[in-house]
Amino acid sequence: MKVHGRCWKFGDNIPTDQIVRVDRALGTMEEMAKHVLENYNPDFAREVKPGDILVAGKHFGQSSGRAVAPKAIKATGVSIVIVEYAARLFYRNAFEVGLPLLECPGICGGVDDGDILSADIETGVVVNETKGIRFQAKPAAPFLMEMLKAGGLIEMAPRLADKE
């Protein structure tokens, strides 16, 4: 599974309540997607394109375990989230909704908004094609990769039931 897209860079300590503010977490997923990360970059939700890549620092998705946050990011068309470190609940929720996520130490120091990035989700190799910098992220566990390939946990559930 490989992705390629424009980088949108965010900082450290972004809680799920700011990925989609509580007062914006109403209505359809398409409506929520219009407000993703609006307090950090008001242009993001308006200008993000399918396939773009969201990069952030440490503790991304911290505080509550609201699964609406990764769902709303996915609804923007972002192809992958690459962070220095994700909160554990956000990490798992991302895979459960079919949103690829890599933890990649040092990524924030080597990318800027607008850089073109490529990532191989299975190997964890991330390349900043604009700057010619290569990073090695921690690849996802095989079970999580299987979940991603299925499209998320709900889509994977029938396969799990068949194995019993």
Domain positions in the chain: 2-163
What's the pLDDT at 152?
79
pTM (predicted TM-score): 0.91
Taking 70 as the pLDDT cut, the residues of the chain under it are 25, 65, 159-164
Q: Tell me if residue 57 falls in helix, strand or coil.
A: coil
Kindly report, residue by residue over 27-53, the tens digit of the pLDDT: 788 888 999 999 999 999 999 999 999
What's the pLDDT at 21?
78
Question: Residue 80 to residues 64, 85, 133, 153: CA-CA distances in angstroms?
Answer: 21, 14, 18, 17
Q: Please report how the helices 68-75 and 88-96 are oriented relative to each other, as an axis angle in degrees rounded to 10.
A: 50
| Number of alpha carbons in the 13 Å side-chain half-sphere of residue 138 | 10
Bridge pairing between strands 53-56 and 2-9:
parallel
CB 28 within 8 Å of CB 58: no
What's the pLDDT at 163?
64
Provide the CATH topology of domain 2-163: Aconitase; domain 4 (3.20.19)
φ/ψ (deg, to 5) at 59: 60, 35
